[in-house]
Amino acid sequence: MDRKAALYIRVSTDAQYEEGYSVDAQKEMLAAYCVTKGWKNYEFYIDGGFTGSNIERPAMKRLIEDVKQGSVSAVVVYKLDRLSRSQKDTLYLIEDVFNPAGAAFTSLNENLDTATPMGRAMLGIMSAFAQLERETIRERTRMGMKERVKEGLWMGGGRTPFGYDYDRTTGVLVPNADAAVVKRIYELYLSGYSAARIAEMVGLKHDKQVRDILKRRSNTGVILYNGT
């Protein structure tokens, strides 16, 4: 079997397109690396819009399957965190998937090559830093959302509640055309109608939607964040 080099690419957010992590930018660098190695048989595995916190990604699953089938001689990424931001997942992929199948792993940015003793020694250190960066970003994001809510602003993420639009300029929720429906739901509920009957009367698909609207604190002008 003519084994191939697997060039894995991951982009999780639109912001990464601006930071040099775009799919095209990664493809260009990985293909250039193959040229320097004299590799002509290579294939791209691309996950667009997927987090690095786990390996539940379509292209990643296909890569794992191909490696286990023995059709991959090397796995190459632009940066270690493109493979994963979890130390546990990184070590699993390399120690339990790539190595047993004889597939070397290379990360261009860190100059990491598990085909060498030094590369293997550096792997644990680099994967630990990748996980630290992920957890730092997550904590910073949480703190930012909490501060927004304290100021009376919408947290800026998640689904906008039914009956509102999110005004990005002011950072607040603004009642939209569906606000009248929300008001009608409360009126019908106070008149004794069941959630299922209200859903039929106002044109919603499920009674759960009605119950969620009735219990939603944002309808009272309050924004709930992490139970507070």
Question: Is residue 12 annotated as part of the catalytic site, yes or no?
Answer: yes
Instruction: Quote the radius of gyration of the chain (alpha carbons, Å).
Output: 24
β-strand pairing of 164-167 with 172-175: antiparallel
Q: How far apart are CA 90 and CA 82, in angstroms?
A: 10
Q: Name the active-site residue from 12, 73, 86, 107.
A: 12
- State residue 48 phi and psi, 5-degree precision: -100, 125
β-strand pairing of 72-77 with 164-167: unpaired
Rounded to 10°, the helix 179-190/195-202 angle is 140
User: Could you give the residue numbers annotated as active site?
Assistant: 12
